[in-house]
Amino acid sequence: MTAELALTGARIVTPGAVIDGSLTIGGGCIAEVAPEAPVAAASEDMDGDYLLPGLVELHTDNLEKHMVPRTGIWWPGLPAMLAHDAQVAAAGITTVYDALTLGDRYRAIDTDTALSDLIGAVREAHRRRLLRADHRIHLRCEVTHPDLLPDFDRIAAEPLVGLVSLMDHTPGDRQFSDVEEYKRHYQHARDLSSEQADAHIAELVDNQTRFADENRSALVERCHARSLVLASHDDAGPHHVAIAKAEGVSIAEFPTSRAAAQAARDEGLKILMGAPNLVRGKSHSGNVAAAELAKHGLLDILSSDYYPASLLHAAFVLTQAPFHLSLSEASAIVSANPARQVGLDDRGEIRSGLRADLIRVGMAGDIPVVRGVWRAGQRVA
């Protein structure tokens, strides 16, 4: 049968090598990768650009940023969703787990309305087939929050929910071991007075004592009952990793120290770090640099976190000194590895039979430039 589309003259990034040749698409899947251009109903010359598998993003706060563009401002759900979708697709992301925070005291509006609006926007965009990327939901659960379990129970049955992270942002622990650094960060981020920040910190410390252990245990039980993938967040040392391992966690998100990352590797957890951290060369909170972990082989997955365009950029950074990964190896860190970790076996690589989620990438010096995006064989950007 004649293929629907042939992408010719490409440098195709497969799991084992970069191949000069053509890729054909049929029925939304990759039909063939071959040196010669095949007969196809239509063709497009890649003019020597790279073809990579579409990026798979497990942790991005970008949707929430579109819905709360400024403190106290709540943007309408569907327009925010569509703006976010356009941005991630333009960055080469074809599958995205949109992070939705449960347990954030400083929401722009009340929690019930926020959950309803966010989930409603995702559902409506899916129903009307308005989305360029394939969107799923990642629930970021603040285990210290008194209303966490009721919030979780209202949303956990949503079919799009596929990933849950266990978070504890109590000052003096994990991400912010320095309480004064936490205060400075959140005063700026939330536009709080010094007195409001102090009251917030006191509330978080009290809530950790009262709710964290009970909430975390109940949440883990609920997630296992629903076969949801679990991630631990901001593990600071081997003791945190040991807890996560006992809970059945499979992803260590943003370990804050090399010791925590090494413990995660020893326990068989996959290590996820921020692409902005790698591109910038340092953590914005002063914790371990993603580059340090990458140099020691302690990096499995990258996430764009707060900046979608960083994901592809970071993959190409990994091909340069001092890392010197092959482009196939670097591509896996932003495509195949995250896909497999959440059970998506139909994408993440350029291989016959997999979904034709693809990105065309040219180069401006050493900076990758997205020039085309296909999701399930359809051009979306």
What is the full DSSP assignment across 31-82? EEEESSPPPBS-EEE-TT-EEEEPEEEEEE-HHHHHH-SSTT----HHHHHH
Residue 119 vs residues 89, 125, 139, 178: alpha-carbon distances, Å: 20, 10, 11, 35
pLDDT at 142 over 60: yes
For the residues 229-246, what does the mean pLDDT come to? 95
Q: pLDDT tens digits for 325-360?
A: 999 999 999 999 999 999 999 999 999 999 999 999
Between CA 220 and CA 217 the distance in angstroms is 5
- The arithmetic mean of pLDDT across residues 26-49, rounded, is 88
Average pLDDT on 231-243 reads 94
User: pLDDT, tens digit, for every residue of 290-324?
Assistant: 999 999 999 999 999 999 999 999 999 999 999 99
Question: What integer pLDDT is reported at residue 176 of this predicted model?
Answer: 67
In the beta sheet, which residues pair with residue 301?
A: 272
pLDDT higher than threshold 80 for residue 38: no
Q: Say what the pLDDT of residue 1 is.
A: 43
Residue 212: DSSP 8-state: I
Q: What are the backbone angles phi and psi of residue 205, rounded to the nearest 5°?
A: -65, -40
Mean pLDDT to the nearest integer, 159-167: 94
Residue ranges and CATH numbers for the domains of the chain are 1-54+348-381 (2.30.40.10), 56-346 (3.20.20.140)
CA distances from 250 to 38, 59, 158, 210, 340 (A): 42, 15, 21, 27, 11
Report pLDDT for 237. 92
Q: Output the average pLDDT for the chain.
A: 90
What pLDDT, on the 0 to 100 scale, is given for residue 206?
76
Mean pLDDT of 57-72: 88
Query: Half-sphere exposure (CA, 13 Å, Cβ side) for 224?
Result: 11
Per-residue pLDDT, averaged over 259-265, amounts to 97
**Per-residue pLDDT for 112 more than 70?**
no
State the pLDDT at residue 199: 77
**Residue 311 is encoded by which pair of tokens?**
């994901």
- Say what the pTM is: 0.91
CB atoms < 10 A from the CB of 318, how many? Answer: 23
| pLDDT higher than threshold 50 for residue 287 | yes
Q: Note the pLDDT of residue 109.
A: 47
